[in-house]
Structure 1
């Protein structure tokens, strides 16, 4: 299992940041480190309150310790993936046997979703690991005996608070839903009353509430935006991206733990057992926890129209445990079973390696080439403009110390922008209007900047050369210009229709 984690760390160093997600979240963390503003997550210098800040605190700390690279940004999801595997192992060992625990942990670690999600910079793996840890801690506490294990329960409150600080209400709503159904199904409400509620809730409040209080005092509309718009609104709305039918998550579940998924149907206990063993007689309460955990989260995320595969990561531990139970029932005692296990484990590992190679060869939408040139040639303090799109990875790669000035017709975009990069920026600017006026500028400013030297501009390659700007490099996806090119700006040029006309093409996937 340690070799698989080493492989995960190696894979995390082999590819550039993907956009928009990895570029966005890695840059928010880098900016937190550069600006020393640990209270407010910022995208392009503007408050970005789609999620609470725990992941950015951790990523910025990793960058402070090991340098600003894509690999250091990926240490957080990799560590979260390790936490998920260790939690599964320790819980299964406590509830069943060490052999079953090793099998379940290896199945989880040797899966494509673990090796991909564990090196992808977003909130999904971190919140999934914290949700799983919360559920395990409370379940183990309640299964400890007639009196719940107080220390495990307090750990559950701590993990729940960290989940809230990672992705908001989902960090407590999902474990709460799973545990509520499971406790009701297994009739353990009498034990619930004996949990250490006072000390547990105190720990929860001390960890989770300070940021929400401080940030809410500084930005009065924060709570409504974070909980109302970004969470409840996205859950109930129909205007956001990634719309899929109810078939989506069952299909994702079928492939996310391949090839181990095929063993899940065999996880049910045998009807007749002449000599029950520890692995085949695992407590029915634990088995019911796995199925309730799986089905409750599956139903929860199947309700909204907007669906992403990463949302369902919290079901990985019960899936792996059920698959391990199925393996023990089908393969236990068979000749060459361990050899077959090793061969099956090579399938997802090989698939992820091929995917990593393909990602490096096909760098769609990345600004890596022009960002490298910009970092080498730009002088400190020289402004950088973007027109026709927003290169999410450019500030991170170029190590910019000031926000990119994004030129668009912002007033009209408020009524026409979809769930994309433009809406992200102008909604962020609403929290600090003065800063937004300097960063989110109208087309006229671009022509004015062209008349002076020492400014830089990036535009998508499918746009024409703006008047007054000299092309420095044509990259694969973005063009890089510098200001001060000779030639007057004509009245016809001033509108720059081609530059601004492509603003909506860089949508948010």
Structure 2
């Protein structure tokens, strides 16, 4: 019996190894704040609260993004428990989907060698090894945008009339993309395909597209949650689509302003150094040239460049830019880079060793980033504080915060009730920028009961002498340090924990409370 692996089996094995490496890296670092703390906690809270309709941050509605990420996080936590890996499994699965879709498409439109190399280039990149495990919406929507574009493109390339099955699958991918991050899940695949059809003179094929059945599938999957949310919260549509999507795209008042060339640099880092080999594919080439060198027709070459340039231009227009936004273009860029390597390097005797060396260097860089990031961000996180709080507090105790918002504290401690956030909220409504305070008070406008966790600073004095209250503040905070009744309980790397009632000695990091003394919070179980 011949047990030799086929070329396709080798490719799938390599893909599986790359995804396994991603999971290993995902388990080696603490939650990053604010993003991973925010989005991971919303998913955990969805499971704890049992409210699968309304994403909530600290018990307050959070309608910046649709709920697809949170649904999957809640399911993962229900199965595997609360951990970094359980929550990162959601973006990691979608990174695997992106990699698999690239391989399946590339081997159809080019050769097995080109497809496998493209997979290795993408799978060994920082965009995959680091971005593919980061807890936010970017990898989810990027993967579904990619699936939608591949499905629509293959549907149109099936003949004079598009393949209806592939077209409908593309609409399903658009629906999941919209549930991932909103309108771009539909708009970007549609815009890419439209530009490509015009460029390749296939526009007349849209007359035979299965619009009715495709849109029906799209609406059946994407619409119900939006309709239910609007019925429950009458201002929902205006807030999500106008405030969080249109205004964030067109306005210049939001965080992270960057120059127009920002995403060119971002792609150079995300797909380093492979992106530079894509330059070999920038010039217009004939179908004959492509066929002789990389076995890909001019029509597919134009799809890759339409995909890359349309989305690059789309995200370069707004003033506010984040690296993860550009992830939807890494599949076609990896394919172009694979073809560029074929032209520039494949004929060289040492090309295999050079290729393996670059992959190894990328892996070492990714591992270094993952192992070092915890030390670099130690003072901004509350992991040490959460470990103490989880074993010292009772489930009925109340945690107060004020001068900063500890996104990862409820996630690590696994609190079962929201924290009380203290501030001058009427003043902040007039002055707060695009930060955590605005996230909370805008969300509170949707739910008057949930808004009760936003309280004035005077509450600290009122509860100071009553046991069962805790205050978490950044190191050096003077809000409670000089108030009678509040005692420093634990001094962490960047945050301090105070307990009400007085008379408690400080606990050091080396001598935390004994977990078995009382029930504690659910997060204490992981330390026993």
Class of the TM-score when normalised by the shorter of the 2 chains: over 0.9
Residue among 342, 353, 372 paired with 1:328: 342
Count of matched residue pairs: 486
Check whether the contact 1:269–1:281 (CA below 8 A) recurs between aligned residues: no
- Pick aligned residue for 1:251 from 239, 244, 265: 265
Distance 1:274 1:421, change over 3 A: closer
Aligned counterpart, 2:389: 374
Conserved? CA contact 1:96–1:278, under 8 Å: no
1:141-179 per-residue CA deviation (whole Å, 9 max, x = no partner) reads: 111122211111111000000011110011111111111
Task: Output the CA distance in 1 between the equivalents of 2:141 and 2:457.
Answer: 40
Does structure 2 retain, via aligned residues, the 8 Å contact 1:269–1:280? no
Unmatched 5+ stretches in structure 2: 1-13, 505-528
Counterpart Cα distance in 2 of 1:273 and 1:184: 18
TM-score by length of 1: 0.93
Aligned equivalent of 1:475: 492
The aligned counterpart of 2:359 is 345
Q: Which residue of 1 is the match for residue 465 of structure 2? A: 451
Do the aligned residues in 2 keep the contact of 1:96 with 1:279 (CA within 8 Å)?
no
Candidates 395, 401, 408, aligned match of 2:410: 395
Q: How does 1:404-443 map to 2 (within 5 A)?
A: 404-436=419-451, 438-443=452-457
CA apart distance, 1:280: 2.8
Verify the 8 A CA contact 2:87 2:135 in the aligned structure 1. yes
Deviation at 1:277, TM superposition (A): 4.3
Structure 2 SS opposite 1:479:
strand
CA distance in 2, matches of 1:18, 1:389: 15
Assess, with a 3 A threshold, how the Cα gap between structure 1 residues 270 and 26 changes in structure 2: closer, same or farther. Answer: closer
Match of 1:386 in 2: 401
How far is the alpha carbon of 1:68 from its aligned partner? 1.1
Structure 2 CA distance, aligned partners of 1:171 and 1:122? 15
Equivalent residue runs for 1:180-191 within 5 Å = 180-191=194-205
Contact 1:111 1:256 in 2 (8 A): yes
CA contact (8 A) 1:97 1:279 kept: no
Deviation at 1:364, TM superposition (A): 3.4
Aligned partners of 2:355, 2:205: CA distance in 1, in Å?
40
Offset of residue 191 of structure 1: 1.6
- 3-state SS of paired residue (2:130): helix
Deviation at 1:281, TM superposition (A): 4.2
**Residues 159-238 of structure 1: matches in 2 within 5 Å?**
159-238=173-252
User: Residue 156 and residue 270 in structure 1: after superposition, are their counterparts in 2 closer, same or farther (change >3 A)?
Assistant: closer
**Residue 286, structure 1, aligned to residue 303, structure 2:** no
Contact map agreement 2:40 2:135 (CA 8 A) in 1: yes
- Cα displacement string for residues 357-383 of structure 1 (whole angstroms, at most 9, x for unaligned residues): 211222231000111000011111111
- Which residue of the partner structure matches residue 499 of structure 1? none
Equivalence for 2:166: 152
The farther-off stretch of 312-321 and 330-339 is: 330-339
The match for 1:506 is: none
Describe the SS at the equivalent of 2:400: strand
Q: 1:270 to 1:390 in 2, by over 3 A?
A: closer
Higher mean alpha-carbon deviation, 393-402 vs 57-66, is at 57-66
User: How far, CA to CA, are the matches of 2:247 and 2:285 in structure 1?
Assistant: 46
Q: Any idea what the Cα deviations from partners look like across 1:375-409, whole Å, max 9, x if unmatched?
A: 01111111111121110000000000000001111
How far the C-alpha of 1:275 sits from its partner, in A, is 8.6
Gaps of 5+ in 1: 488-509
Give the conservation status (yes or no) of the 8 Å contact 1:134–1:160: yes
Structure 2-normalised TM-score?
0.90
